Amino acid sequence: MAETKKTAEKTEEKPKTVKNKVETKPAAEEKVVAKAGKRSAKAIKESEEKVAKEERKAVKASDKEADKPKKPVKPARSRLERRSKKYRESAKLIDKTKQYALKDSLELAIKTSTVKFDASVEMHVRLGVDPKTADQNIRDTVTLPAGTGKDVKIAVFTDEPADKIKQAGADIVGNEDFLAQLEKENLNFDVLITSPQMMAKLAKYARILGPRGLMPNPKSGTVAKDLTAAVKGAKGGRVEYRVDSEGIIHLAIGKVSFGPEKLQQNAEAIVKSIKAAKPSSIKGIYIQSTYITTSMGPSIKVEL
């Protein structure tokens, strides 16, 4: 009986259970709110309201801009319309579709010059050349029969006596004293003339004279054995011309006060020189177009 009682008690004992670890999801992180400052509930609410207000303003402005009628865009004014009143009145006298004879173009240029000073008369000649090619880089000097109308100051660097050269028209004649002035970059002259044997001494000052177009050059007639004749030529209206990078020659042929006859003499001398300088490698049209104009005046197309 006792044994049966013990076995009954054993069977009635509850089995031991192993506690399993149950994984639970972490609770959603709540927004950290401070008691005061930028992270306080009041500050966060104010910033959210401010952002919402700015968004409403942006939407309202875009709607207003869309409803607003667009202003008509004015067309750009032409180059002639942007000119002065006097220029526009002068331009009406010129027929842009017409090519004028040289004499007529000079008369018209004088008539259309409305400035108060004695304006220069310019000639612009477009050539069918390639300036990058050595033989087509047109460059020459020409003596204008009626002169240039400018008072040219001439300096001569030489060891010859100065009296004879000054009588020919030179303003400055010197040797070592002239080099001292170059050292100080005192360039109070328009043309510098020297002889071939003196060029070696001037080579040192090429960086000063070259950029200003004052370095003597045999092609321009400023390096000559006969200094007296070179000075007379420079005083008498000798000018140098050269094509630019676009193949155009720009040259002043005198002043409005010269009158059409003297201006025509100068223009014809220039055209003759340009034709004589035509390189043999040119196959097409050499002189493509020519224009006459005055300082601040309209241009006139010339038929040569």
241 and 122 housed in the same domain: yes
208-235 pLDDT, tens digit each: 888 888 888 887 788 888 888 888 888 8
Q: Which domain holds residue 226?
A: 153-236
Residues 186 and 137 placed together within one structural domain of the fold: no
C-alpha dihedral sign at 28, 32, 35, 37 = negative
Q: State the CATH number of the domain containing residue 207.
A: 3.40.50.790
Mean pLDDT of the 181-203 span: 88
> What pLDDT, in 10s, does the model give residues 103-125?
999 999 999 998 889 999 999 99
The model's confidence at residue 31, banded by pLDDT at 50, 70 and 90, is: low
The last residue of one of the domains, among 197, 213, 236, is 236
Each residue's pLDDT tens digit, 176-190? 888 888 888 888 888
pLDDT in the model for residue 163? 86
Of 187, 204, 236, the one marking the end of a domain is 236
The residue from 236, 267, 284 where one domain ends is 236
Q: Is the pLDDT of residue 147 over 90?
A: no
Whether 244 and 214 share a structural domain: no
Q: In this structure, is residue 287 part of a structural domain?
A: yes
The total number of structural domains in the chain stands at 2
| φ/ψ of residue 287, rounded to 5 | -90, 105
Q: What is the pLDDT of residue 32?
A: 62
Q: Are residues 111 and 227 in the same domain?
A: no
Residues 269 and 226 placed together within one structural domain of the fold:
no
Are residues 198 and 299 both part of a single domain? Answer: no
Task: Name the residue with higher pLDDT: 246 or 219.
Answer: 246
For residue 26, is pLDDT > 80? no
Residue 26 belongs to a domain: no
How far, in Å, CA of 74 to CA of 55, rounded? 34
Distance spanning both ends of the chain, measured CA to CA: 153
